[in-house]
Amino acid sequence: MKKLVYILLLAVSWPTFAARQFDVEIILFKRNINPDQVSESWPDQLKPLDMRGTMTFGNTDSLAAKGVTPLSPDQYQLTNQYQKLQNHAGFTPLAHVAWRQGDEGKGAAPKFHLVSGKDFSDRYLADGTSKAELRRRQLSAPDSTHDPELGSDITITIGQEGADTDLATDAADSEAPLYQLDGSIQVYVQHYLFADVNLDLREPGRREVIVGTEPLESDSIETETETNVQVGHLQEVKKKVEVEEFLKSYRLSQQQRMRSGETHYLDHPLMGMIIQVRRVGE
C-alpha cells in the first residue's frame, strides 16, 4: 500500500521535475529618423561585437543540439504589433522571429546571431569606409606621399605590392555581407528571466577625415616674436580635412529582466525591440 502511495505522489509531482520550456518572440525595428537630428553623439568606430558561441536560425544541427525549435508564423502572438509598426510612417520593421528553448542559465542557454535589413557590402567596407571614396582617393594619390609632420627625410612609398594587397582586401570584404542590422540576443534563466541584447544598426551618413597636411598661408601665421617660435627648418602646417560618405554603426546594448507572458520594449533613439517570453503550457 505504501509503495502505491509513493508512486501516486511521484506521478502527481512529476511535472515539477520536468524541464521548463519557453517560447521567445521578438520584433526588431528602426525609427525613420536622420541620426543627425538626434541630440546624441556616437563614435565613428565601435568595438566589434563578440559573436563567439552564437548560432543562426539556418543552422539546424546547432539548433537541435541546443534544444531549440523555430516557431512558425501561425504560432506568433505579436503579429498585431508588427502590423502596426509596418503601417506607421515613423518605423520600419526589420525582423520578426520566434523560437522555443529550455530554461538554461547564461552559460548554457542558446545565443543567436541576428542579421536583417539591407546588405551594404557592395558600397562599404566592414569598417564603414565608402568603397567609392576609397577608389577616388587611390586614383588621385601620387606614388609617394610626404608627411611634413614626420620630417623632411621620411617618405611613405605606395608600391605595386601594397596595391595588390589592398585589392585583395577589398575583394574579401566585398564577399562578406554587411547587413543593416547585425547583433546577438540571448534569453536565459537566473532566478528570473533575462535577455541580453547587443545590436548594431548601420546607417549611411557622412564624416570628416584627415587626408593630409598643407602649409599655413603666410597671412595666417602670427608674426609676433613672443608667440611665434621657429625651430630649425620646421614649417607650420594645418590638417587638411574632407567630408566623405561613411556607413556608421549605432549600438543598442541592454540587459532586460522579464516576467513570463509580459511584453517588454527595449528603447533606443534610432531603433527598438519588442520581446515576449511565454512559458509553454501556461
DSSP conformation letters of 202-226: EEEEEEEEEEEEEEPPGGGS---TT
* Sign of the alpha-carbon dihedral angle for 278, 100, 194, 113: negative
User: Residues 109, 188: contact at Cβ < 8 Å?
Assistant: yes
CB 99 within 8 A of CB 70: yes
Tell me if 204 is assigned to some domain. Answer: yes
Q: Flag whether 8 is in a domain.
A: no
Asked whether residue 13 is domain-assigned, the answer is no
Residue 165's SS3 state is helix
Q: Averaged over 15-36, what is the pLDDT? A: 86
In a domain, 183, yes or no: yes
The CA distance from 96 to 89, in Å, is: 18
Domain-located, residue 10: no
- Pull the grid cell for residue 75: 504560432
CA distances from residue 280 to 18, 24, 75, 100, 260 in whole angstroms, order as listed: 12, 10, 12, 9, 10
Residue 3 lies in a domain: no
SS3 content of the chain, % helix, strand, coil (to 5): 25, 40, 35
For residue 115, is it within any domain? yes
SS3 129: strand
Bridge pairing between strands 263-267 and 54-55: unpaired
C-alpha distances out from residue 235 to 146, 224, 240, Å: 14, 16, 15
As for how many domains the chain has, the answer is: 1
User: pTM for the whole thing?
Assistant: 0.74
The Cα 272–Cα 277 span in angstroms is 17
What integer pLDDT is reported at residue 218 of this predicted model? Answer: 55
CA 29-32-33 angle, to 5 degrees, is 125
Nearest to 187 by CA among 15, 25, 10: 25
Please indicate, yes or no, if residue 4 is contained in any of the structural domains. no
pLDDT at residue 12 greater than cutoff 50: no
Does 163 or 120 have the greater pLDDT score?
Answer: 120
The region of weakest confidence among 1-10, 22-31, 32-41, 266-275 is: 1-10
3-state class of 19 per DSSP? coil
pLDDT band of 96, cuts 50, 70, 90: very high
Packing angle of the helix pair 160-175, 131-140 (nearest 10 deg): 170
| % of the chain at pLDDT higher than 90 | 57
Average pLDDT over residues 183-188: 98
Cβ(182)–Cβ(200) under 8 Å?
yes
237 Rama class: left (phi>0) / alpha (psi -120 to 50) / beta: beta
Structural domain harbouring 55? 18-279
pLDDT the model gives residue 212: 67
Mean pLDDT of the chain: 81
What's the average model confidence in pLDDT over 257-273? 96
